[in-house]
Amino acid sequence: MTTSQPRHRIDRAQKRRDLLAVPQAIVVLEAPAGMGKSVLLEQLAEELGLSVHRSATAPPDGQGPLVLWDIPPASAPEDLPEVYVSGARRIVIGKRPETALPSLDRASVYGHVHRLVTSDLLFDREELLSAMPARQVERVFQQSRGWPLLLGQPNAGDEHLAGFLASELLSPMTAAELVALATWLDGQPAQLDSGLLPLLDLVRPILPGALATALAVRRQDAEQAAELAQAYLALGLTTEAVTTWQSIGRFDEAFDAFRAGGGRFYLYRYGGAAFDRVLAGFPSEYALGNDTLVMSLAMQALKHGEVARARRLLADRFGSGVNDVRRVFTGRGQYSADLVAFRVVMLIYEDYQLTDELFEQVFGTLSDLPLDDHIVRGSFYNSVLEFYIRGRRLAAAEDVAQRAIHHYEQARVPMLAFYISLHQALMRLLMGDANNARQHAEKSARYLGKVGFDSPGDARLLALLNACIDYEGGKPEPLARFLSTELDDFVHGEIWPSLIEFALHYGSQALSEHFSTIAARNFLDRWRVYQVSNRQFGIMIELREAAILQNANRWQEAAERTAALATRITRAWVAAAGEELERLKDRDEIVQAMIWLRHIVYEQPTRPHLEVQLGHIIGNLNLTGRQRLCAQIWLAFVHKRRRDLSRARGVLHKVFEEAARLGAIAPLAEERIFLTELLEQQRIGEYLEISAPVRQVLRRLRDGGLPNSALGAQSGLSRRETKVLMMISEGSSNKFIANALGLSEATVKFHLSNAYRKLGCTRRREAISAARALGLVS
């Protein structure tokens, strides 16, 4: 007999003799599909002239001295008749391991049962030798390892075996077994027959294809597909259950499974790909007539940046009033609590600026939410958190963050808890507290590690957060590496507004300091796509670019960009402001006011009342910790320029001690334009060196690139000559420079002529080229 012969024609004469020689009355062939139980019973029946009883019903009593019973898979057989249990009659039973046969255990106690399991049914070399030429035995045995299913088949790694396995091994399996096999192939623990595992390992390379074929066949039959869906649900494979229900048109069952899996929160439990997949499986007419599915489709649109589509979906289902924010929150009785809660989330994406009155009304909707609906209540706090961060109400933000974390932990949704801890780390960075930010980043990583699906976008967010914490502590390399390798994917991902602000600040600052101003501006240009649909991003980007230009000593260009913004915070407003600076609340207005103050400090540090104005901005409770450190450095610079060195060094010493306590080096490095001059002053420098923590900060600043002396001084230029040279490099006229610095045009010409002489230049253009070569301007 050759290896091409069907496996079931190999004569197992010795195995039959062994069976007949067993002294016990009951012989049980207990093995999974593909082990040749039925074939062996057929051969035994041929030899003895008997028939095989194939049914879940027990065989009748009057069938001669030996009865052969082949119990069908997935059946519930009747009790084994007492005549067999007592050992009065002989019977050979073929069954699957999971098939329970009543009374068999009792017969075992009497000693009447002999079991043959998977290992007993494998072919050995001697059996193969009786069926084929000796030269083929070893090759066949190596290919099959004695498994009856594989005898006469191609190599176990051959793809042609997949169809055979689908029909012979997988087809007899129950739906639950097929689903367990799919789980096992994904590397997860599964309830599989341990005796079958060696075979599965042998054919593992081709099992996915065979399983796909078997599942496709099952799905063609509505009843079998329904069994599959139930088996998927039993193992928690909700997406597969939903799509299986959908494949046979049973959309109500599919929706019930989708709703049980989280409904509009499904994407946080199973991932964005699964969310998109199940939503695509509902017919449009069905989905648009279902409140939960409409909100889910709207959430999907928001995640893809399609705010207008989300609004249209809601309006078509719930009426146009649902997009009137004031109407929704003042007349909540018109809409379900779940819809109102969803509108709170949607506010974040709509760039809606809440008044204090409306914010109170939004918060009032919390009382409509069930106390035990943890995921909805957590998401409410999550949305409110975004508004608190935007308004720089960080103490309140921390309170709602803790509440959101509590509810998300109760709901067992680690992905959403990850977002909250990420925001907590961001808040610590805003405060300038890098040490605490790192603790929250570690907590974020633990939550992300508990997520049961791949989320590369969120992994990138965590990588950026850790890189920014390192940057804040004076280690720019991780952030530079992230921006070099992950930037494109990150920019095109979906993240919340407060995280975009965070990315804009750190990304542009790191690129400007460690690459070039051009690189930083290109980075900001990539984000300008948000300006089309979101006003706050547009202003945020313009303000970041102005700050980058200031750091590159392109002050006039920075002033022009800031002045072009159509807001009330103009240079004239800032120059005339007093206590108004202390009362600013809006995030962008504060940033704009600080950009103008920074400009004034640089150009006119001895300007009357500037010290008082800086005191007002420093006293603003809505400033972040980083912003306050920067403003205090400007104040120290003003004191120094006014020759009040005692106050300058006192302010600066306080700044450095706070930076040492918080592990915040980056805010100081970003003010190197002012710090360089301050630290060059001998009395200030020597005073700072007294404190050990301050010395460590100074060392880290210098390791990070803060010069010990100004570039202009290294070139023999005075401070005034350096500043005039920077301003002509920006295209400023002599008249503009004179007005900006409070000098006469003759004095400006005098400083320019001195700069020309020291640089070996005779013309304006040559001086500008020399300034760029020296690194005075970018």
The Cα–Cα gap between 19 and 27 comes to: 7
Residue whose entry in the numeric block shows the structure tokens 């290992």: 119
Q: Is residue 91 within a helix (H) or strand (E), and if so which, with residue range? A: strand 90-95
The Cα–Cα gap between 610 and 614 comes to: 6
Q: Which of 420, 504, 509, 501 is nearest to 458 (CA)?
A: 420
More confident residue, 168 or 556: 556
Mean pLDDT, residues 628-653 taken together: 94
3 — pLDDT class (breaks 50, 70, 90):
very low
500 — pLDDT class (breaks 50, 70, 90):
confident
Question: What confidence score (pLDDT) does residue 146 get?
Answer: 59
Q: Considering just the CA atoms, what is the radius of gyration of the chain in Å? A: 38
Mean pLDDT, residues 565-572 taken together: 92
335 — pLDDT class (breaks 50, 70, 90):
confident
Mean pLDDT, residues 168-196 taken together: 79
Q: How far is CA 574 from the centre of its chain?
A: 41
Question: What confidence score (pLDDT) does residue 279 get?
Answer: 97
For residue range 511-534, what is the model confidence (pLDDT) as tens digits?
887 677 888 888 888 777 655 555
Angle at 557 between CA 553 and CA 561, to 5 degrees: 130
Mean pLDDT of the chain: 83
Residue whose entry in the numeric block shows the structure tokens 């099959």: 144
Measured in degrees and rounded to the nearest 5, phi and psi for residue 29 equal -90, 100
Q: Which of 183, 149, 140, 152 is nearest to 167 (CA)?
A: 149
For the chain, the first-to-last Cα distance in angstroms comes to 85
Count Cα atoms within 13 angstroms, Cβ side, for 176. 8
Mean pLDDT, residues 470-495 taken together: 74
Residues 6 or more apart in contact with residue 320 via CB below 8 angstroms: none
Q: Provide, rounded to the nearest whole percent, the portion of the chain with pLDDT above 70.
A: 88
Q: What is the pTM of this model?
A: 0.71
Which of 2-6, 87-91, 226-230 is predicted least confidently?
Answer: 2-6
Residues 6 or more apart in contact with residue 684 via CB below 8 angstroms: 640, 645, 648, 649, 652, 678
Residues 6 or more apart in contact with residue 403 via CB below 8 angstroms: 377, 378, 381
Distances (CA, A) of 72 to 33, 44, 518, 774: 11, 18, 74, 88
Question: What confidence score (pLDDT) does residue 535 get?
Answer: 62
Counting Cβ atoms within 10 Å, is residue 371 exposed (0-12), middle (13-18) or buried (19+)? exposed
Question: What confidence score (pLDDT) does residue 265 get?
Answer: 94
More confident residue, 71 or 131: 71
677 pLDDT more than 80: yes
The Cα–Cα gap between 340 and 328 comes to: 7
The Cα–Cα gap between 419 and 389 comes to: 14
Counting Cβ atoms within 10 Å, is residue 284 exposed (0-12), middle (13-18) or buried (19+)? exposed
Secondary structure of residue 526 in the 3-state scheme: helix
Question: What confidence score (pLDDT) does residue 167 get?
Answer: 64
- DSSP 8-state code for residue 29: E
Distances (CA, A) of 503 to 345, 346, 378, 408: 21, 22, 25, 25
436 — pLDDT class (breaks 50, 70, 90):
very high
The Cα–Cα gap between 617 and 596 comes to: 12
Question: What confidence score (pLDDT) does residue 72 get?
Answer: 85
The Cα–Cα gap between 707 and 673 comes to: 10
The Cα–Cα gap between 89 and 608 comes to: 115
Distances (CA, A) of 659 to 626, 629, 639, 653, 664: 9, 8, 20, 10, 5
Mean pLDDT, residues 99-117 taken together: 83
Which of 154-158, 321-325, 488-492 is predicted least confidently?
Answer: 154-158
For every residue of 379-431, which 3-state class applies, written as one string? HHHHHHHHHHHHCCCHHHHHHHHHHHHHHHHHHCCHHHHHHHHHHHHHHHHHC
Distances (CA, A) of 202 to 125, 180, 206, 233: 18, 18, 9, 29
Helix intervals (H) in 71-117: 82-85, 104-109
710 — pLDDT class (breaks 50, 70, 90):
very low
2 pLDDT more than 50: no
For residue range 317-333, what is the model confidence (pLDDT) as tens digits?
999 999 988 888 877 67
Question: What confidence score (pLDDT) does residue 156 get?
Answer: 47
For every residue of 160-174, which 3-state class applies, written as one string? CHHHHHHHHHHCCCC
Locate 697 and state its tokens. 């900060």
Strands 66-70 and 26-30: unpaired
Counting Cβ atoms within 10 Å, is residue 763 exposed (0-12), middle (13-18) or buried (19+)? exposed
Element counts in the chain: helices (H) and strands (E) = 48, 5
Locate 277 and state its tokens. 């997949």
6 — pLDDT class (breaks 50, 70, 90):
very low
Locate 410 and state its tokens. 């109760």
Question: What confidence score (pLDDT) does residue 14 get?
Answer: 75
Strands 113-116 and 66-70: unpaired
Helix intervals (H) in 305-373: 307-318, 325-330, 337-349, 356-364
Which of 63-67, 606-610, 745-749 is predicted least confidently?
Answer: 63-67
357 — pLDDT class (breaks 50, 70, 90):
confident
143 pLDDT more than 80: no
Mean pLDDT, residues 591-618 taken together: 94
